[in-house]
Amino acid sequence: MCLQIRNLTLKYPASPNVVFRDLSFDLTEPGFNALFGPSGVGKTSLARVLTGDMRGFSGEIAHEGMKTFLYSYNTERLPGWSAVGRHLDKVTPTGRRDRLQDLVPVFGLEDCLRQRFSQLSLGQQNRVNLLRYLLQDFDLLIMDESLANVDELTREKIILQVKALYPRRHFLYISHNVVEVSKFCRDIVVLRGAERHPQSVVVRGQDARLDREVDRGRLDQSMLEIVNASS
């Protein structure tokens, strides 16, 4: 399975500004890959294009072997009156109860199941929202700041466990955190302004896993390449 973007061009109808001009890149391997770049460079717009929520673009998007794309974002909210555990039970497909039971402690949500969604902190809400997506069928899950407001140690635990549990799925991780994408992602697509050519540069990250330590020198090199590509 792979994702190929060829000559993607997009302009909002009411704006004179071009979001993408001949944007092209490939993501060929499953696992965690990333979209990185400053606010306003088009990360969320590209996510919406990939999921079919945004039209009016030209170019080609090929996703061989990939059918189901899901999009999780950090401001998405569930019904505030619903108990978290009841909602998760309702949206969990048949046969995935064991996976739900495995993920609840990984996400640190054991004490949240009897609470209403509106009673949770922002970080807890984001974790619940991401968890429900992981219980669904998907070939690609786009995580748009999905772990915002979650402390660093918990984010790391979640990312490493998700990578271990879903080794053949594709993830597109959107974050402003250069250390995080460098450490946990395989390929980082650095998006630049539409006036830049090329508009994207792909940097190889360190793809940290539970069974593989990250070399600090190589991590520093990945971060430097990302910063240089962004500037």
**In this predicted model, what pLDDT tens digit does every residue of 10-45 receive, in sequence order?**
998 888 889 999 999 999 899 999 999 988 899 999
Percent helix, strand and coil across the chain, each rounded to 5? 35, 25, 40
Within a domain: residue 92?
Answer: no
Q: Is residue 103 part of a domain?
A: no
- Domain range for residue 167? 3-76+138-230
Mean pLDDT in residue range 96-114: 95
Residue 144 belongs to what H/E stretch? strand 140-144
DSSP type of residue 115: S
Q: What is the mean pLDDT of the chain?
A: 93
Is residue 97 assigned to a domain?
no
110 within a domain of the structure (yes/no): no
Q: What is the CATH number of the domain that holds 38?
A: 3.40.50.300
Write down the pLDDT at residue 228: 95
- Would residue 84 count as lying in a domain? no
The answer to whether residue 44 sits within a structural domain is yes
Q: What confidence tens digit (pLDDT) does each residue in 164-215 have?
A: 999 999 999 999 899 999 999 999 999 998 889 899 999 999 999 999 889 9
126 domain-assigned = no
The DSSP line for 192-229 is --TTSSSSEEEEE----BTTBPPPHHHHHHHHHHHHHH
71 occurs within a structural domain: yes
**Structural domain tally of the chain?**
1
Measured between alpha carbons, how far is 25 from 4 in angstroms, rounded to an integer?
6
